Amino acid sequence: MNTEKVALKSKLWLSAADGFCGILCGLITGGGFTVFFTKWMGLDTAKASLVWLIFGIWNAVNDPLFGFISDRTKSKIGRRLPYIRYGAFIYAFIFILCWIKWPIAGNQWGMFAQMLISLFLFDSLYTAIASALYVMPFEIAISNKARGSILIYKLFFSLLSLGFPLILMPLIQLEAGEDPKTFQIIMTAIGIIAGLVLFFSTFFYSEKGYLKEQQQPGFFTALLTCIKNKAFVIFEVVSFTIIFVQNALMLGVNYYFPEFDVPMTVCYGALVAGAVFGIILWVRKQYQWGVKNCMMIMCLVFSIGCLVMALFGRNTIAAIFSFTTVGFGFAGGMFLIPLMNGDVIDFDESRTNLRREGMYAGVNSLITKPAMSLATSAFLTIITAFGYDKSLALGTQSYHAETGILLAWMLIPAILLLICFFALFFFPLKGDAWKKTKEDLEEKHRVSEKEYLEQMGYDS
């Protein structure tokens, strides 16, 4: 059997598009947007928390519906590509608009309305583009080796999309009354670059031809099939947790470094070191150990690191250790989660003979997108309960408020990751029988693509 391969240019452009799409999302959902509204614009934290909770309801409707539409889209360039290519510049424009104070934002409820509308518009475009990018490796390749070769590049750009907001936002964070011009110029430049990368990337990768022709079931039939997939249900426990943890940790750094005497450069260096070690370990061992076992190791180590930070985050040594494990965990989340999701979708195809990446991505978002809202809402609620005062200058919070920041930031992620560790004992896709199923699917795809090309009059 020939080894499945993906062109280098396809890997690079797809990964770059995914990375820049993630950078915009990270700046909005990773805490920067919340800090912008509460610190600079002066929105009450309770109203900001309410915005995120209401926003979560929209995600419950938006994501599975789009996934269903995406699976049934027919165009000359495919099911997914139109959303990336034609949505790129709209997505960038909305991102830029998010960082400008609108005329309606003259009071608390006006700011509330602007924040809610901005999130609504931004997420609509993000869902269309990110869902298409997320499932593209499964459209391009079937074997975990071929997908893994794509995900290595995606992982590198994902680390950039994760690290960029973490580093940038604490450096350019606005104080109340500060001139926002430089901040807004930076955000505008980032938006324009991301829009260009997304648009031009679509000319360097494509979907498998025969998948565009598959007839898909109705919405509720497709939805129920996803929910009945045991492997998918367990995957969602992990996926929800990873999204919650990522957003909680990205939000928390905007409060942690300004209030604690801990060296940011050293901590971020530890984060990078942990991520690099994680990448090397997962790339080398995921095929030998299996995705399930790798995920269990990642969740356990990640959980321990978060717990150490929650309890001992004032200590520099503890912080360095925790950031190392966070990097290790982030690398695992970004590399192993897509492989795990790919296996879930492959399992569905082995039962239904259909590729339904879009529907699975939509239902996944239905469950995981609220994690973004819950992470932000929980963090703001907890620090407020511990006496955090947003009117104080950076670095002047009370000891009690500092404790609230540590607990709000890391304790819930530690608990959720430990739950995932135990849930993964029940994940069924493992062992030689599953490897054989994957090999049969790869051969089936090769034959189907060959037949499709011949029907279209091309030399296969």
What is the DSSP code string of 308-360?
HHHHHTTSHHHHHHHHHHHHHHHHHHHHHHHHHHHHHHHHHHHHHS---HHHH
- Give the DSSP per-residue string, 379-422: HHHHHHHTT--TTSPTT---HHHHHHHHHHHHHHHHHHHHHHHH
How far is residue 71's CA from residue 295's CA, in Å, rounded to a whole number? 28
Average pLDDT, the chain: 84
What mean pLDDT is predicted for residues 70-78? 72
How far is residue 360's CA from residue 348's CA, in Å, rounded to a whole number? 10
pLDDT at position 121 over 80: yes
How far is residue 325's CA from residue 94's CA, in Å, rounded to a whole number? 35
pLDDT of 208 reads 64
Could you report the per-residue pLDDT of 194-232, keeping only the tens digit for each?
999 999 999 988 776 545 545 555 556 666 777 778 888
pLDDT of 2 reads 54
Residue 260, number of CB atoms within 10 A of its CB: 18
Contact yes or no for 455/212 (Cβ under 8 A): no
Q: How confident is the model at residue 144 (pLDDT cuts 50, 70, 90)?
A: low
**Of 108-112, 212-216, 330-334, 356-360, which range is least confident?**
212-216
pLDDT at position 29 over 90: no
How would you label 17-44 residue by residue, b for 16+ Cβ within 10 Å and e otherwise? bbbbbbbbbbbbbbbbbbbbbbbbbebe
Pick the CATH number of 8-455 from 3.40.50.300, 1.10.3720.10, 3.40.50.1820, 1.20.1250.20: 1.20.1250.20
How far is residue 38's CA from residue 291's CA, in Å, rounded to a whole number? 40
Q: How confident is the model at residue 40 (pLDDT cuts 50, 70, 90)?
A: confident
pLDDT of 458 reads 45
> Angle between the 316-352 and 431-455 helix axes, to the nearest 10 degrees?
60
How would you label 315-347 residue by residue, b for 16+ Cβ within 10 Å and e otherwise? eeebbbbbbbbbbbbbbbbbbbbbbbbbbbbbb
- pTM of the full structure: 0.67
Q: 358 or 264, which is more confident?
A: 264
pLDDT of 215 reads 53
pLDDT over 70 percentage in the chain:
87
**Of 8-12, 129-133, 145-149, 420-424, which range is least confident?**
145-149
Q: Which residues contact 245 (CB under 8 A, 6 or more apart)?
A: 302, 306, 329, 333, 375, 413, 416, 417
> Angle between the 357-385 and 108-140 helix axes, to the nearest 10 degrees?
140
Q: How confident is the model at residue 1 (pLDDT cuts 50, 70, 90)?
A: very low
pLDDT of 412 reads 93
